[in-house]
Amino acid sequence: MRNSLEQTLLAKITDAAALAAKIEHWKAEGKKIVFTNGVFDLLHLGHITYMAKAAELGDKLVIGLNADASVKRIKGEDRPVNDQNNRAALLAALFFVDGVVLFEEDTPRDLIVKLMPDILVKGADYTVENIAGAKEVLANGGEVRTISLVEGYSSTSIINKIKGKTA
């Protein structure tokens, strides 16, 4: 049983080319593909709520996950706390996540163009104009949506709490 569970999780974590082929298959079946991205360093209620709401917008939820090198450039040298393999496995373990793909760039724009989801989702702390790949998804007839974030949850605040720092 453990082997099949492990295989199921690993099957969700893939590269961009394999995921693009999967998405093409899903679209041929009439499935609506939702894409979001992030670091997802310390998985918390804010992340889970956000991804669950994103999943409700379509049939398949795909997560673009910043690779470790990208996280270091964006968040600083002491991030991520959890490496990319750990973060990818945690995301793949969520029942509402159908695919996880790592990207090395600072934004997922190129990945989004390659996968071309039906719906691109980011947190409401973004405007459509500031969302990487939004212009391309909209030009392809897709949608761009924002989702309200759960107040009081962030990986940075959790890390600071662990270190004994206050916000």
d(CA 122, CA 27): 21
Percent pLDDT > 70 in the chain is: 92
Q: Are 123 and 130 in contact (CB under 8 A)?
A: no
- The stretches of 29-83 forming alpha helices (DSSP H) are 45-55, 68-75
DSSP string, 100-157: EEEE-SSSSHHHHHHH--SEEEEETTS-GGGSTTHHHHHHTT-EEEEEPPPTT--HHH
Looking at residue 1, its pLDDT comes to 55
What type of residue sits at position 27? K
Q: Name the DSSP letter for residue 167.
A: -
pLDDT at 121 over 90: yes
Q: Which tens digit of pLDDT belongs to each residue from 60-98?
A: 999 999 999 999 999 999 899 999 999 999 999 999 999
pTM of the model: 0.90
Homologous superfamily (CATH) of 2-162 is HUPs (3.40.50.620)
Looking at residue 162, its pLDDT comes to 77
SS3 50: helix
Question: Domains of the chain: which residue ranges?
Answer: 2-162
Looking at residue 7, its pLDDT comes to 80
**How many CB atoms within 10 Å of residue 47?**
22
Angle 21-94-9 from CA coordinates, rounded to 5° = 55
d(CA 70, CA 110): 14
CA 158 vs. chain centroid, Å, equals: 20
Q: Which tens digit of pLDDT belongs to each residue from 18-67?
A: 999 999 999 999 999 999 999 999 898 999 999 999 999 999 999 999 99
Residue 2: pLDDT band (50, 70, 90) is low
